């Protein structure tokens, strides 16, 4: 069973279109994230949700809107796609850990978005 | 979160130990050292983390100096599948609202 699954794996679309990427985790984690990895391979956080509540919102254009219908799902909707949005988008989840426990983030396999 | 410094790239022979260094001279007392790796075209993978004691798991060992200003990730018997970018990240214990901030990492190439 895939712990963090993203769909689609590849997405090619034209400028100006609206698209969504879906993410689901079956780990029972209470926090989910979206990261963007650009062509220079830098990984940057975009959003974080804890129990369906938005807790991190980096400086991301308004065209990007995350939605968390429940704590196992975090979807990313992108309006009016631009060439610069081309990147690999990673979903991740983690558990709000208690003292003495440690758990890392679990990442999905990524969605490669190409805007043409 | 404290800044980290890692070599840009390293090579290792298959079957030998790979020792990946990380400097974090501004680390605070409540900050942990985390290691992740990213194999080409995959999502980052958690490896290990520690506060001040050395740690070992099935993937690797983490050695943290006594002053906590540097650490070394050790892959005891590197295989070709260990070729990846390795990220050293220093941050407070995972809490709601915290984040992982990735630097440039070290590209480890394991050679046959």
- pLDDT tens-digit map of B6-48: 999 999 999 999 999 999 999 988 888 999 999 998 999 999 9
Nearest chain A residue to B97 by CA: give it. Answer: A55
Exposed/middle/buried for residue B41 (C-beta within 10 Å: 0-12, 13-18, 19+): exposed
**End-to-end Cα spacing for chain B:** 37
pLDDT band at B1 (very low <50, low <70, confident <90, very high): low
Gyration radius of chain B over CA positions: 13
A 7-26 residues inside an 8 A Cβ radius of B: none
Instruction: List, for residues B61-81, the tens digit of each pLDDT value.
Output: 999 999 999 999 999 999 999
Chain A, chain B: beta-carbon pairs less than 8 Å apart: 61
CB A50 within 8 A of CB B96: yes
Query: Residues of A with CB below 8 A from B44's CB?
Result: 43, 90, 92, 105, 107
Instruction: List, for residues A75-85, the tens digit of each pLDDT value.
Output: 999 999 999 99
Q: Please give the Cα distance from A27 to B7 (Å, whole number).
A: 34
**Contact assignment for B104 to A31 by CB distance below 8 Å:** no
CA of A54, closest CA in chain B: separation in Å? Answer: 9
Q: Find the farthest-apart pair of alpha carbons in chain B and give their distance in angstroms, rounded.
A: 43
CB A83 within 8 A of CB A15: yes
Chain A interface test: which of B96, B98, B101, B102 (most A C-beta within 10 Å): B96
CB A86 within 8 A of CB A115: yes
Instruction: List, for residues A22-63, the tens digit of each pLDDT value.
Output: 999 999 888 899 999 998 888 999 998 888 888 888 878 999
């Amino acid at each position: 069973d895939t712990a963090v699954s993203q769909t689609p794996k590849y997405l090619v679309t034209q400028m100006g279109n609206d698209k969504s990427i879906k993410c689901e985790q079956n780990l029972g984690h209470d926090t989910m994230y979206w990261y963007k990895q650009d062509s220079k391979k830098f990984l940057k956080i975009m959003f974080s949700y804890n129990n369906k509540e938005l807790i991190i919102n980096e400086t991301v254009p308004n065209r990007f809107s995350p939605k968390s219908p429940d704590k196992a799902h975090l979807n990313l909707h992108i309006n009016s796609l631009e060439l610069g949005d081309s990147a690999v988008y990673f979903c991740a989840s983690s558990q709000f850990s208690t003292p003495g426990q440690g758990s890392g983030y679990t990442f999905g396999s990524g969605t490669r978005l190409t805007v043409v | 979160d404290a800044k980290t410094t890692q070599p840009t790239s390293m090579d290792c022979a298959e079957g030998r130990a790979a020792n990946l260094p990380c400097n974090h001279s501004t680390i605070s007392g409540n900050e942990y050292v985390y290691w992740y790796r990213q194999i080409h075209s995959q999502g980052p993978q958690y490896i290990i983390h520690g506060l001040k004691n050395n740690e070992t798991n099935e993937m690797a060992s983490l050695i943290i100096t006594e002053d906590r200003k540097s650490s070394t990730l050790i892959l005891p018997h590197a295989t070709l599948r260990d070729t990846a970018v390795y990220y050293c990240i220093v941050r407070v214990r995972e809490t709601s609202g915290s984040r992982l901030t990735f630097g440039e990492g070290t590209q480890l190439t394991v050679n046959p």
